[in-house]
């Protein structure tokens, strides 16, 4: 195969390998054997007459020629895929396998409120959900169409994020979707038994459900009308899952922090939780999305457009 006969498909295969820095991850995304993918890249390199990928490490690296080739080809491949999808949509809607990675806690309160309606509206989209605990930075380069992660300004795995604006880099595009208001909740029985806090300082006398039991999470910062108070909190329980936190609070065990949005509202109501210190909020939680490229296919756009309204304020906020 001469350079003049290099096929666009072979360039697309190279872009997938270069983007994910892994033959196995790229092969999974492409639904083809790793051996076949490796052979096709070898043939592409022979046709071009240059080595594009260094294979002497466990994590593949691009050569200088490979990096230059990637920078010129990725945009072309993305545009070609978008053109293909736009033609497909003339005869139908979004289709294909949509791979989504999200935290377990997000899946537990978001998917029950959305996935049935989504699959009914888009029957040609097959959804595959990964509920692992990888960080946003770890998820970059993996074969997912959408990676959703919680984070705060102090989360160093999201240092590339410019809130509200997608930031493109070698790992994909990171964007803040929404900043979720965060309030305190407890059950009526807990409050009847232990009394209701009237000021942020009263929390020191209560069981407070933290993310982890360590010094870093032994303080909550509360906000009201531009005033902030950092108060010490303690408790016998900790959980880093919002659904479990709601359940434990519903069992009259502690005061917990929870975001307040349409998707989470049923969990608050199901566990009969009441807002505590209603004039105050705690630090908000941001929800970020990581896309593999600046161009999102129709299936990705359809999914994100569908879930975003559920991330808005709850009706009784």
pLDDT tens, residue by residue, 262-292: 777 777 888 889 999 999 999 998 999 988 8
The pLDDT of residue 87 = 66
Q: How far apart are the first and last CA of the chain?
A: 64
CA distance 77 to 297: 12
The pLDDT of residue 217 = 83
Q: What is the pLDDT of residues 69-95, one digit of tens each?
A: 888 888 777 777 777 666 665 556 788
Q: Above 70 in pLDDT, residue 159?
A: no
Q: Above 50 in pLDDT, residue 153?
A: no
User: Rg of the chain's alpha carbons, rounded to an integer?
Assistant: 24
Chain mean pLDDT for the chain: 82
Rounded (10°) angle between helices 298-307 and 64-91: 70
Q: Above 70 in pLDDT, residue 5?
A: no
Sign of CA dihedral 78, 80, 82, 85: negative
Which stretch of 32-36, 147-151, 223-227, 312-316 has the lowest confidence by average pLDDT?
312-316
Domain spanning 3-89, CATH class: mainly alpha
The pLDDT of residue 163 = 34
Question: What's the average model confidence in pLDDT over 8-36?
Answer: 86
Q: What's the predicted TM-score (pTM) here?
A: 0.68
Domain locations in the chain?
A: 3-89, 93-317
CATH of domain 93-317: 3.40.190.290
Question: What's the average model confidence in pLDDT over 112-119?
Answer: 90
């Amino acid at each position: 195969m001469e350079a003049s006969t290099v096929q666009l498909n072979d360039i697309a295969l190279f872009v997938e390998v270069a983007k994910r820095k892994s033959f196995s991850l790229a092969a999974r995304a492409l639904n083809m054997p790793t051996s076949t993918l490796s052979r096709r890249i070898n043939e592409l390199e022979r046709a071009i007459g240059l080595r594009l990928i260094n294979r002497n490490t466990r994590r593949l690296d691009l050569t200088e020629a490979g990096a230059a080739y990637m920078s010129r080809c990725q945009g072309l491949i993305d545009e070609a895929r978008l053109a293909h999808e736009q033609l497909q949509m003339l005869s139908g809607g979004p289709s294909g396998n949509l791979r989504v990675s999200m935290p377990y806690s997000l899946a537990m309160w978001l998917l029950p409120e959305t996935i049935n309606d989504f699959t009914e509206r888009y029957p040609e989209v097959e959804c595959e959900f990964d509920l692992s605990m990888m960080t946003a930075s770890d998820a970059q380069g993996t074969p997912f169409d959408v990676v959703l992660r919680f984070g705060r300004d102090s989360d160093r795995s999201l240092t590339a994020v410019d809130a509200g604006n997608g930031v493109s880099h070698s790992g994909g595009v990171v964007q803040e979707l929404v900043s979720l208001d965060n309030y305190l909740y407890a059950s009526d029985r807990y409050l009847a038994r232990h009394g209701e806090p009237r000021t942020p300082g009263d929390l020191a006398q209560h069981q407070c459900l933290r993310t982890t039991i360590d010094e870093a999470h032994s303080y909550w910062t509360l906000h009201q009308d531009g005033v902030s108070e950092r108060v010490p909190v303690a408790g016998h329980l900790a959980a880093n899952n919002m659904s479990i936190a709601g359940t434990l609070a519903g069992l009259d065990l502690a005061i917990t922090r929870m975001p307040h949005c349409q998707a989470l509202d049923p969990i608050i109501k199901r566990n009969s939780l009441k807002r505590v210190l209603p004039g105050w909020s705690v630090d908000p939680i941001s929800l970020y999305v990581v896309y593999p490229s600046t161009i999102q296919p129709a299936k990705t756009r359809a999914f994100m457009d569908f879930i975003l309204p559920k991330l808005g304020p709850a009706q009784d906020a």
